[in-house]
Chain A
Amino acid sequence: MKDKLDKLGARLQTKEIRIPVDLTVGILFFLLGGVVLLIMPQQVAISERDVVNGRAFPRLLMVLMMFCCALLVGKEIYKIAKKQPLEYKTVNLLVEIKALIILAILIISYLLAKWTDLFVVGAVFCALAFLIYFRCKKPSYYVITVGMAVGIWAAFRFLLNVRF
């Protein structure tokens, strides 16, 4: 199992994706600005009597954001036209998969705590899951970490009076 994982890891480590940063940011946030402007009438109620209503400030922000995005995209298009190199960010597939695993641990810990309405259940799962993620083989680490997880819950529950 360990060897299989190591082989898979070594294979994934070589796989990389290059993202043209400014172009991606420009397009993504331009779209976000457009969507916010589109949904604003449904999401922000206003009174007709207001001189400056609740939509004025978010609208100003989105216009500024879209203007900045247009600048970024324009700059990148100019670079492409002039055959100048773009700024890229390299994303490693192995790193992203590991990040997704960590994120999954966080989400499962949260769901366990919520569904059982016992924070300590989520906390103990979180402690064990991370030790397994780090491939820890020392039993003392398991004892210490689980003990501390229960300790933190107890401190919040009984000292700070947080009921969970």
Chain B
Amino acid sequence: MLQHIIPASGLLFTLQNILWINIGVFIGAVFAAIPGLTVILCVILFLPVTYSMSAIPGMMFLLGIYCAGGYGGSVSAILINTPGTPHAAATMLDGHPLSKQGRTKAALKIALYASTFGGVFSALALLFLGPQVAKFAAQLGTPECFMVCVFGLTIIAGVSGKSMIRGIIAACLGLLISCIGSDPMTSYDRFTFGVGRLYLGLDLAVCLIGLFALVEIVSRAEKKPEELHMDTSKMHDNGLITKAEYKRMARPTLLGSLIGVIVGIIPGTGASEASWFSYSQARNMSKHKEEFGHGSVEGVAAAESANNAVTGATLIPLLTLGIPGDGTVAIMLSALMINGLNPGLSLFTTQGDIMYAIMLGLILVNIFMLLQGKILTPLFAKVVSIPQEILTPIIVIFCFAGAYSVNKNYFDVAVALVFCVLAWLLRKLDMPPVPILLGLVLGKMTETNFRRALLISNGSPKIFVSSVYCWIFIALIAVAVFTILRGKVKEKKPQAEPVTKEE
């Protein structure tokens, strides 16, 4: 590891990288602070900007957005009791009551410090655990790699929506869409319907613009006009946090960071699950349980440290196995692959310097997030109230410009619109979009490993149960399916009302 650290530092500490980190952090915090705009939407919109960059500045920019998004969501949660991003919902429970007590600045500071600690903790976990997991991944052959893909897809299909079966159907749909274009092994065209432009397949960024970004615009139809206008409360306090409060924050912050890392490593789970789990654990362990829900500093610290501790941990399965921990890092995978960086042990050996630069960069991202948070939080607080009338067309124009700039043609804009309609229809049917995204991302890898394994075994499916690792993954899939199904059954039991209302 040490032999990579010094050259990696040389690659990382350039003016260009520092600039892109800061731009990413700023954009991420602003986007996440605005209710309704998610981190995934922001990463999709700005992904085309990274196409002309090399690996390190591109990843630094996207990681800046990703990490600052974790903190930005808490700004609106604290100020206006509306989480900017879904994973800031737990922060809202205590952050907003603190703000109502006249301690808005203090609540924002607690969220910022806890987020930074969680982020740095997670980056260190990535730095030390990543190479070890990559060494394990190097021992996996073709059938095992296929099983890894199935494992990742199963978990994500299971946890993404209300129904596991619907999740699997969505994952199958994503995998099918990834088959469009030339066959990865023979180059014959598949499902192109005579459209020449489809021969190269559908670009991931274009599909995602439709699937996640444009559909959010169409979903504005579901919101009532009064929900689109929000006024932020003013920050009048001095933001003082007492020594006793710092002491009380320490344990939930550390606990939240640990929970965030563990949850983040598991594919399919994300910041929301981590922050709720951490919040409930912190409440159970607290000596001041009665304060939870009424402005507890421990509650804010636990939720915020956990949702930012997920950021580095989700990169562990991504960089080592090619399995994205959540939807946002799935998009980052395409930014890596554009630069010829394919996940696995080779990434840590042949491209070790770049990899370590990215992992060290994650620590830097969190430090700049802290600095920007300290200086620019009043500005982040102001953007919460940007009128939706202005914001909505701006996002659409960004989406169209982003889709066009991928291959410099309007065909991609049309593809993004088709995916937008598809996503809207799937929403009406309660079908989760994340398994489709994972299907799109993992499609080529899953199919290539599946077919290669069968070629090796001359068509015999026994190859998928031929090694210990295969059995380990089969056991993991079985355990995951059982756990998810048990969780779903438990969720359904207390529900008395079977009819689900959309609004």
Which residues from chain A sit less than 8 Å from chain B, CB to CB? 18-19, 21-22, 24-25, 28-29, 36, 43-47, 50-54, 56-58, 60-62, 64-65, 68-69, 71-72, 85-92, 95-96, 98-99, 101-103, 106-107, 109-110, 113-114, 119, 122-123, 126-127, 129-131, 134-136, 141, 144-145, 148-149, 152-153, 156, 160, 162-164
Contact = CB atoms under 8 A, between A and B. Distances in A.
27 contacts: A18-B499, A19-B429, A21-B500, A43-B192, A56-B450, A58-B191, A61-B172, A65-B168, A65-B176, A68-B169, A68-B172, A85-B499, A89-B430, A90-B500, A96-B221, A99-B222, A106-B396, A109-B400, A110-B414, A110-B417, A119-B400, A126-B396, A130-B389, A130-B392, A149-B394, A156-B401, A160-B49
Interface stretch (B78-86, B232-240, B361-369, B452-460): B452-460
Nearest to B392: A130
B397 A123 contact: yes
A88 B172 contact: no
A56 to B, nearest CB: 7
A44 B451 contact: no
B377 interface: no
Given A29-B169, A106-B217, 19 more contacts: A25-B169, A44-B188, A50-B186, A51-B458, A52-B454, A52-B455, A57-B450, A58-B191, A65-B169, A72-B165, A89-B429, A91-B428, A91-B502, A99-B222, A102-B218, A103-B421, A109-B400, A134-B389, A160-B405
Interface string B379-392: 00000000111101
A162 B408 contact: yes
Contacts of B421: 103
Contacts of A72: 165-166
Contacts of A52: 451, 454-455, 459
A90 B222 CA distance: 12
Chain B interface, >50% SS class: helix
Contacts of A45: 188-190
A87 B400 contact: no
Contact of B408 (A126, A141, A163): A163
Contacts of A130: 389, 392-393, 396
Contacts of A53: 186
